[in-house]
Amino acid sequence: MVIILRCLICNSIYYEKRDLRTLFRTKPSFRCQSCEKKYLNVCRYETIPIERFLLHRYYFFEEEVQFTIDAFDDHYLLFLQNTLEEILKNGTLIIVESLSDELFQVLDLLKFSHIYVYCLYVLKI
Ligand SMILES: [Zn+2]
C-alpha cells in the first residue's frame, strides 16, 4: 500500500510505502525527502533582552518564505515537548508566522514575563 502526500514546502507529491506492520503508523509527515534534507536542522534559537525579561526566539528562516509554519509541525511538537514545562513556569508562548519589527516593539513593552516566540521566519530586528 502507498500513501500519497503533498509536501507543504515545495507542493510536490510524494509517497510513503506502508505494509501491515506500518499501515496505522501515525508519524506525521509534512515534507518530501528533498525538502527534508534541504531544511534539516534549520531551527535557530536566540535570546534577546527586553525590558526586565528575555525574549527567546525560535525561528527557521531570516527572510520571508512562501509556505506556512505547518510545514514544520513536527518540529513544533518536539519543541513543545522539550520546553512547555519551562515556558509554563517562566513565561508566555507566542506562535506567529513571522516576527516583525512592529511585533517586537509591542512585545518589548509588555514587561510581565519572559516571552517565547516560535515563528517560521523573522524580519531583521
Ligand atoms: Zn518538498
> Are residues 57 and 118 located together in one domain of the fold?
yes
What is the C-alpha to C-alpha distance for residues 111 and 64, in angstroms, rounded to an integer?
28
What is the C-alpha to C-alpha distance for residues 113 and 92, in angstroms, rounded to an integer?
7
Q: Domain limits at 109?
A: 41-122
> Are residues 113 and 61 located together in one domain of the fold?
yes
Enter the pTM of the model.
0.76
29-86 confidence digits (pLDDT tens): 889 999 989 887 778 999 999 888 999 999 988 888 888 888 888 888 888 888 888 8
> Are residues 6 and 32 located together in one domain of the fold?
yes
Q: Residue 35 C-alpha to ligand 1 middle, in angstroms?
A: 4
> Are residues 28 and 45 located together in one domain of the fold?
no
> Are residues 45 and 31 located together in one domain of the fold?
no
> Are residues 118 and 62 located together in one domain of the fold?
yes
> Are residues 67 and 115 located together in one domain of the fold?
yes
Q: Which residues contact 124 (CB under 8 A, 6 or more apart)?
A: 62, 101
Q: Residue 51 C-alpha to ligand 1 middle, in angstroms?
A: 40
Structural domains of the chain, count? 2
Q: Residue 39 C-alpha to ligand 1 middle, in angstroms?
A: 10
Share of the chain above pLDDT 70, in %: 98
59 phi and psi angles, rounded to 5 deg: -150, 165
